[in-house]
Amino acid sequence: MSNSIKWQSPSNIALVKYWGKRDKQIPTNASISFTLKNCHTTTELIYESKETTADYDINVFLEDELKESFKPKIISFFDNISHKVSFLKQYKFTIKTSNSFPHSSGIASSASGMSALALCICSMEEQLTDKKFNKADFLKRASMLSRLGSGSACRSLYPGLASWGKHEAIPGSSDEYATPFTDAHPIFKDFQDTILLVDQGQKEVSSTVGHSLMNGHPFAANRFQEANKNLSIIKDILKNGNLQDFTKLVEQEALMLHAMMMTSDPYFLLFKPNTLQIINKIWEYRNQNNTNFVITLDAGANVHFLYPKSEATEAMTLINNELIAFCENNAYISDEVGSGPIQLA
Ligand code: PMV
């Protein structure tokens, strides 16, 4: 007899970036992100008990297609969490997963994918033991397991904003799981994020390689210090809603992340010419029209264009008139701050 569990979990975009890790996915600095709404992964975990417990038995389907290439990542995730979850070799798993955004869009699915799978495993634990965690403990456990799949995934568990990494200014913060940031100014509750897809290919540098390049990086110690300082500062900005300060800090963070990549050994330049075109257009418009348009970037060429909801009409006009020309196939994804994962029937 088989049982099934299904969760939908969102992606997130970091405002203060995590870049560098040690030991078992322990971050070298604290980070904070907006949880997104429209970019999410839906994962169904179907399990049935099996006779032998020597190895894992996993089949993964992406959009109904068997994906052998996804298996090693899931096996390594299961290995990473096996000291916390003891029953993984006792069951045969069918994992059916799909993303709300195109797999080839250049948008990383690891945060949404790993958090959705971790949630399924936590629900499975509840089913097997007939024990119900309270909601806070359940999410904390799911966040901790997600982290062992993909660091940034641990922040996707919470609505609005979530921080991750031990930090003196964030009570209850931990290197092992994320903490919800609940006292944000209302302006941030529905902040918009239009992801301008400059490059829809595979990531040029995997995040595993990227993080490892911070080991022995000449500016590493300063970077980790700056990021932790920025987290203290953004905490106040997120409370008081000062958008000028928000813009400066978020953009500095994004550019510092890329500066780290440009100065590592080996070095990487992940901007494409169109990344710079878009950034300059947004800055030019902001200077001329006094808007609160903000850019941020992941470890890639796509631009996350952030703006308050009240400026959405103006932003969309700029996107359609000027920015989509620099996007691959004119493509962009409209997203905004979201309310966290949901369990589906
Ligand atoms: O979670 P990972 O290992 O894919 O690393 C993500 C790193 C960044 O997206 C560049 C920054 C962040 O904090 O999300």
162 Cβ inside 6 Å of ligand 1: no
CA 160 remoteness from chain centre: 13
- Ligand 1 centroid–CA 48 distance in Å is 33
Q: 297 and 253 share a domain? A: yes
Q: Which of 136, 166, 185 is the last residue of a domain?
A: 185
149 Cβ inside 6 Å of ligand 1: no
- Ligand 1 centroid–CA 207 distance in Å is 7
- Nearest C-alpha to atom 6 of ligand 1 is from which residue? 152
List the CATH number of the domain containing 208: 3.30.70.890
Task: Note down pLDDT in tens along the chain; length 345 residues.
Answer: 899 999 999 999 999 999 999 999 999 999 999 999 999 999 999 999 999 889 999 999 999 999 999 999 999 999 999 999 999 999 999 999 999 997 766 677 899 999 999 999 999 999 999 889 999 999 999 999 999 999 999 999 999 999 999 999 999 999 999 999 999 999 999 999 999 999 987 778 888 999 999 999 999 999 999 999 999 999 999 999 999 999 999 999 999 999 999 999 999 999 999 999 999 999 999 999 999 999 999 999 999 999 999 999 999 999 999 999 999 999 999 999 999 999 998
| In-domain check, residue 225 | yes
- Ligand 1 centroid–CA 115 distance in Å is 14
- Ligand 1 centroid–CA 99 distance in Å is 18
Q: 255 and 213 share a domain? A: yes
List the CATH number of the domain containing 27: 3.30.230.10
97 Cβ inside 6 Å of ligand 1: no
| In-domain check, residue 343 | no
Q: 181 and 203 share a domain? A: no
Q: Which of 132, 152, 185 is the last residue of a domain?
A: 185
Domain count, the chain: 2
Q: 236 and 293 share a domain? A: yes
| In-domain check, residue 179 | yes
Q: 197 and 86 share a domain? A: no
Strand order in the sheet with 192-196: 294-297, 303-307, 192-196, 332-336
Q: 73 and 34 share a domain? A: yes
- Ligand 1 centroid–CA 122 distance in Å is 23
CA 299 to ligand 1: nearest atom: 10
217 Cβ inside 6 Å of ligand 1: no
Q: Which of 161, 185, 209 is the last residue of a domain?
A: 185
- Phi, psi for residue 210 in degrees, rounded to 5: -55, -50
| In-domain check, residue 344 | no
Q: 12 and 139 share a domain? A: yes
Range of the domain at 260: 186-336
Q: 196 and 247 share a domain? A: yes
207 Cβ inside 6 Å of ligand 1: yes
Q: 82 and 112 share a domain? A: yes
Q: Assess contact for 117 and 71: CB atoms under 8 A.
A: no
| In-domain check, residue 287 | yes
Instruction: Tell me how far CA of residue 236 lies from CA of 2, 30, 168, 169, 201, in angstroms.
Output: 49, 15, 14, 10, 37
Among candidate residues 166, 172, 169, 145, the one with its CA nearest the CA of residue 157: 145
246 Cβ inside 6 Å of ligand 1: no
- Ligand 1 centroid–CA 76 distance in Å is 18
Q: Is 266 exposed, middle or buried (0-12, 13-18, 19+ CB in 10 A)?
A: exposed
Q: 37 and 151 share a domain? A: yes
Q: 320 and 285 share a domain? A: yes
Q: 150 and 221 share a domain? A: no
- Ligand 1 centroid–CA 149 distance in Å is 12
